[in-house]
Amino acid sequence: MMHASLLRAALVGCVALVSVLSPVSASAQANAANPIFLTIPESYPDLGARVIVMREPGREIVMLDPAAATVDELGAGLRMLAKFRRERPEPTNGEMIPIMGFAPAPNISADERARLEAALAELQRRPIANVGNLGRGRWMRLSMR
Amino acid sequence: MSARRRTITLGAALCVVVACAEEPSTAIPLGGGEAQPDLDLGVPHLSSDQFATYETREFSELGAPARVLAEGEAEYPGQEEYRDEEDLAPSIWNARTSAMFVPGSFAVWGSHDYMANKGRVDVTATIRRDGTVIGTRLGTTEETYPFIPWWHTITGFVEIATDVDCGLAGDGSSDHAAWWEVAPGAGPSVYGASRMSTSSGIAYQRACEPGVIPTTNTGGGGSGGGGTDTSDYYCWLYITYDLYTLEVLDIQVLWCGEGG
């Protein structure tokens, strides 16, 4: 009985400690923790968009045009994704955000540019697979580090 | 060690382990030669035509059916007396395109007067940032009148929403058309078409001041706020769809604003 109550108290303290040490609030973390997938489908949707951002409950996707998959497009997609994360709630349905154009190129720091270039290079090295109903293409999960 | 102390030690150790644990890596490791799995993704079928507006207006339905002459050419009762007269040559005048920024949007109007029973104006609105086109929207308006020689005025309108009040430029263009159609919608009975194009001048928002963030916020799909003279601006569409059927539920008009 004594052991059980002590263990319960320890667990409560543990939960409190984890909450305090947590760097961001739980709600913000839920959104920010959504995995981001990058994809370059061979059949890019013919919408005239330079990059397409898609949001679904629990995950987000940045889709690049194989004819123009550059760091600027990737940076623009991630910039707009961050904007929608900040300004809109977690989606309960599908959201598709074709970015029709942007200027100037997103202001990306040298470190961030190097990170995006590495991610893009890794994406382009990925083997061809099926990208849902778009057919063949490449995809990867973006590392948040 | 007493059982009580062991319990406390165990709890503290568990606590430290949980508190200090790193979040799991989000990268999917791919070993050499490992097959890439498929990505489960459903993208709604859309075409850029769906982003353009198309408005048709029909005035005073014709009461009597058209009489078919030959090879699909039809004649409306009473038409004979006008058939070879010069009055029936369709004409366009007062064609113009106007463009301006108004609070919350960039608006373009295309209009012309015409002598015919069919009129159409295709209006294009274009938004630029530092001379680079970042957004374009098309709109078509088409009118049908009875086959009677009379003049009409047609106006088409296209709007691009924006929540910034500095740093953008925009311009518009229109393709104007007028023609006679004996029995509208009844096949190839069209003759004598007139066409012309007009463009607006470039409309400018005020220049952004360095480091000053404008405050215009019109709500809707945008973010609020605005840009500085070095901000990156974007134009985007916002589409919602059913995750399971991929049915498009809503398409918001083209929106231009700061990346944030």
**Which residue from B23, B36, B46 is facing A126, i.e. has the nearest CB?**
B36
Pick from B22, B26, B230 the residue to mutate for testing the A interface (most A CBs within 10 Å).
Answer: B26
Cα distance from B203 to chain A (closest Cα, Å)?
A: 18
CB-based contact A97 B239, cutoff 8 Å: yes
Backbone angles phi, psi at B20, to 5 degrees: -95, 0
Domain locations in chain B as residue ranges = 48-204
Q: What is the mean pLDDT of residues B207-219?
A: 56
What is the band of B228 on the pLDDT scale with cuts at 50, 70, 90? low
* B247 DSSP β-pair partners: none
A48 close contact with B: CB closer than 8 A: yes
Give the architecture-level CATH label for domain B48-204.
Sandwich (2.60)
- Give how far the C-alpha of residue B1 lies from the chain's centroid of Cα atoms, to the nearest Å: 75
Q: Are the CB atoms for B160 and B106 separated by under 8 Å? A: yes
* Predicted local confidence at residue A32, as pLDDT: 64
B236–A99 C-beta distance less than 8 A: yes
**ipTM reported for the complex, 2 dp:** 0.79
At B133-164, the pLDDT tens digits run 999 999 999 999 988 888 999 999 999 999 89
Higher local confidence (pLDDT), A56 or B185: A56
Q: Is the pLDDT of residue B226 over 80?
A: no
Among B15, B43, B128, the residue with its CB nearest the CB of A134 is B43
Most confident of A52-66, B34-48, B83-97: A52-66
Phi-psi region of B33 (alpha: psi -120 to 50; beta: other; left: phi over 0): left
Band (pLDDT 50/70/90 cuts) for residue A108 is: confident
Predicted confidence at residue B50, as pLDDT, reads 83
pLDDT for the residue B183: 72
Alpha-carbon span B111 to B196, nearest angstrom: 11
Q: What does pLDDT average to over chain A? A: 83
What is the rounded average pLDDT for all residues in chain B? 77
At residue B53, does pLDDT exceed 90? no
- SS (HEC) of B184-216: CCCCCCEEEEEEEEEECCCEECECCCCCCCCCC
How many CA atoms are closer than 13 Å to the CA of B77, on its beta-carbon side?
4
**Integer angstrom CA distances of residue B146 from B150, B152, B183:** 9, 11, 9
Buried-exposed string A50-80: b where 16+ CB fall within 10 A, e elsewhere: bbbbbbbeeebbbbbbeeebbbbbbbbbbbb
B-facing residues of A in 16-35 (CB < 8 A) are: 17-18, 21, 33, 35
Collapsing DSSP to helix, strand or coil, B58 comes out as strand
Which H, E and C letters describe chain A, residue by residue? Answer: CHHHHHHHHHHHHHHHHHHHHCCCCHHHHHHHCCCEEEEEECCCCCCCCCEEEEEECCEEEEEECHHHCCHHHHHHHHHHHHHHHHHCCCCCCEEEEEEEEEECCCCCCHHHHHHHHHHHHHHHHCCCEEEHHHCEEEEEECCCC
Distance separating alpha carbons of residues B123 and B109, to the nearest angstrom: 7
Residue A114 or A14, more confident = A114
In sequence order, what are the residues at sequence separation of 6 or more whose Cβ sits closer than 8 angstroms to the Cβ of residue B258? B164, B223, B225, B226, B227, B231, B232, B233, B234
Q: In the predicted model, what is the mean pLDDT of residues A61-69?
A: 96
Query: Residue A145's pLDDT band (boundaries 50, 70, 90)?
Result: low
> Which of B40, B136, B242 has its CB closest to that of A94?
B242
Burial string for B15-49 (b: 16+ CB within 10 Å, else e) reads beeebeeeeeeeeeeeeeeeeeeebebbbbebebe
Confidence of residue B121 (pLDDT cuts 50, 70, 90): very high
Using a CB–CB cutoff of 8 Å, tell me whether B242 touches chain A.
Answer: yes
pLDDT of B49 strictly over 60: yes
Q: Please indicate whether, in this complex, the C-beta atoms of A127 and B46 are within 8 angstroms of each other.
A: no
Nearest chain A Cα distance for residue B14, angstroms = 8
The full length of chain A comes to 145
Q: In the A/B pair of chains, how many CB contacts fall below 8 A? A: 187
Task: Test B47 with A18 for CB contact under 8 angstroms.
Answer: no
According to the model, what pLDDT value does residue A27 have?
Answer: 38
Residue A20 pLDDT greater than 60, yes or no: no
Q: Give the pLDDT score at A86.
A: 92
* B229 to chain A: closest CA residue: A104
Contact call for residues A40 and A69 (beta carbons, < 8 A): yes
pLDDT at res. B148: 85
The pLDDT tens digits of the residues spanning B180-209 come to 887 766 666 677 789 999 999 999 999 987
What is the residue whose two structure tokens read 């069209």? B190
Q: pLDDT tens digit string along B76-110?
A: 334 444 444 455 566 899 999 999 999 999 999 99
Assess contact for A96 and A106: CB atoms under 8 A: no
**Taking 50 as the threshold, does the pLDDT of residue B70 lie above it?**
no
